[in-house]
Amino acid sequence: MNYQTILNKRIQAVKPSGIRKFFDILEEMNDAISLGIGEPDFVTPWHIRDAGIYSLEKGYTKYTGNAGLMDLRREIANYLARRFDLHYDPKGEIVVTVGGSEALNLALSCLLEAGEEVIIPTPSFVCYGPLTEMAGGVPVYLQLKAENQFRLTAQELKSAITPKTKALVLPFPCNPTGGVMERADLEAIAAVLEGTDIMVISDEIYAELTYGQKHVSIANLPGMRERTILVNGFSKSHAMTGWRMGYTCGPQPVIKQMLKLHQFGIMSAPTTSQYAAIEALKNGDGDIEKMRAEYDGRRRYLVDGLNRLGLHCFEPKGAFYAFPDLRSTGMSSDDFCEQFLRTQRVAIIPGTAFGPGGEGFARVCYATAMKDIAEALVRLERFLDAIK
């Protein structure tokens, strides 16, 4: 059979991530230090795991309603109001999804007609472009600048807007740069969007991980709620990556369409995970504080170390990544990271893996034990000496 003619061309055209080769090398080394994986190194707090187990003991093993347990949606609404002053109706404005990723997929699929454009600031997480293409849209990558600490400026946004622009992805706090958008930055973006029909898909999965200042959602700004699809979840805030728990909030007419896609494609998010998530929101604020404080210590240490070794790194105020500038070494990101891995057995991710604008940088994840970060810095110093 000629599968090429059988399979959907749009899907076939999507390129698999180039980072695989890198991970293959890493997987064969059993003594390597990995600062490569973007995942909390904490295990989900016990009281949350226990709530999941308890729900199984009680026999809660059936589907939930399509949008998720009402109790959970209510808790999500309370949580968003309490933490970010965001107000959504649990009935009709919130859907519980299989991770934030599903929510992104729902949003893009529900918005896009063939050929419509989605502005995607980069470097950023790798899924936005492929999901846009698979939904028939056209990704328009917008390179953010290191000198702006990888924030999106109004000028940059204006220059990327065309009559075909359907949506803007706003990935802040940002994986991989650690960049954040403060209220004033968002106000400038809101001013550009006002009066247009452009929707914002705001991926706020790292909202709880900001240091020194509180995260502001664009949906919190006047006039923005009606055009924002908020995406969030429990993976980063509560160290719950494997539970696959996310959610999306937005205006009722938008959520109504997204729910259809979720209903027919997924049915409902995993029931056990939903019960665990209720516990996370009811009694988990302290866990967030504790993990944030821990990340903050590692962040300071790592950023300090990178700068000390001459790899300039602006202060990442969000997520759990530092994004040092490698250009002073004269090496490309890919070469630097591959050689660093092969010779020093430390994995960091070349910035190029995160789209245009990543060349010359690397993502260093500090959701890793302190002793590993310390050892990685020692090896980095050795590596920099060797390539001088």
If binding is defined by CB under 8 A, does position 300 make contact with another protein?
yes
| Residue closer to another protein (CB basis): 60 or 301 | 301
* Beta strand ranges found along the chain (DSSP E): 33-34, 94-98, 117-122, 138-143, 165-170, 199-203, 228-233, 245-249, 321-322, 346-347, 349-350, 362-365
User: For residues 149 and 175, which CB has a smaller minimum distance to another protein in the complex?
Assistant: 175
Closest contact distance (angstroms) between CB of 222 and another protein is: 34
Does the protein bind another protein through residue 374 (CB under 8 A)? yes
One-letter amino acid of 211: Y
Contacts of another protein in 317-346 (CB under 8 A): none
Q: What is the CA radius of gyration of the chain?
A: 21
Phi and psi at 140, nearest 5°, equal -115, 105
**Taking CB under 8 A as the rule, does residue 126 contact another protein?**
yes
Among 59-67, 103-111, 294-302, 333-341, the segment contacting another protein (CB under 8 A)? 294-302
By CB under 8 A, residue 15 contacts another protein: no
Is residue 375 near another protein by the rule CB under 8 A? no
Question: How distant, in Å, are the alpha carbons of 18, 36, 114, 164, 239 from that of 135?
Answer: 21, 29, 8, 15, 30
| Residue number with CB closer to another protein (315 or 325) | 315
Place of tokens 């968002």: 186
Stretch of 17-25, 56-64, 213-221, 226-234 contacting another protein, by CB under 8 A = 17-25
Report if residue 32 touches another protein, rule: CB under 8 A: no
Smallest separation, CB 17 to another protein (Å): 5
Q: How far is CA 170 from CA 121, 123, 142, 299, 358, in A?
A: 7, 12, 11, 23, 17
Q: State the distance between the two ends of the chain, measured CA to CA, in whole angstroms.
A: 54
> Applying CB under 8 A, does 58 fall inside the site for another protein?
no
Residue 45 binding another protein, by CB under 8 A: no
Subset of 140-179 contacting another protein (CB under 8 A): 175
CA distances from 25 to 31, 121, 311 (A): 12, 29, 24
Q: Least Å distance between CB 295 and another protein?
A: 11
Q: Does 23 bind another protein (CB under 8 A)?
A: yes
285 binds another protein (CB under 8 A): no
297, 312, 342, 382: residue in contact with another protein (rule CB under 8 A): 297
- In the bound state with another protein, the residue whose beta carbon lies nearer, of 27 and 50, is 27
- By residue count, the chain amounts to 388
Interaction of residue 298 with another protein, rule CB under 8 A: yes
Our CB check for another protein shows the closer of 48 and 353 to be 353
Size of the site for another protein (CB under 8 A): 27
Nearer to another protein, 156 or 287 (CB): 287
Provide CB contacts within 8 A for 344, sequence distance 6+: 379, 380, 382, 383
**Does residue number 54 form part of the binding site for another protein (CB under 8 A)?**
no
Q: What is the dihedral of CA 360, 33, 321, 206, to 10 degrees?
A: 140
42 binds another protein per the rule CB under 8 A:
no
Binding residue for another protein (CB under 8 A) from 39, 187, 315, 359? 39
20 makes contact with another protein (CB under 8 A):
yes
Q: Tell me how far apart the alpha carbons of residues 23 and 36 are, in angstroms, rounded to a whole number.
A: 9
For the chain, what is the largest distance between any 2 Cα atoms, rounded to a whole number of angstroms? 62
Q: Distance between CA atoms of 327 and 131, rounded to whole angstroms? A: 31
Shortest distance (Å) from residue 97 CB to another protein:
16
Pick the closest to residue 180 from 320, 335, 36 (CA basis). Answer: 320
**In angstroms, rounded to a whole number, what is the distance separating the alpha carbons of residues 378 and 344?**
10
Contact residues toward another protein (CB under 8 A) are 17, 19-20, 23, 26-27, 36-39, 125-126, 175, 241-242, 296-298, 300-301, 304-305, 349, 353, 370-371, 374
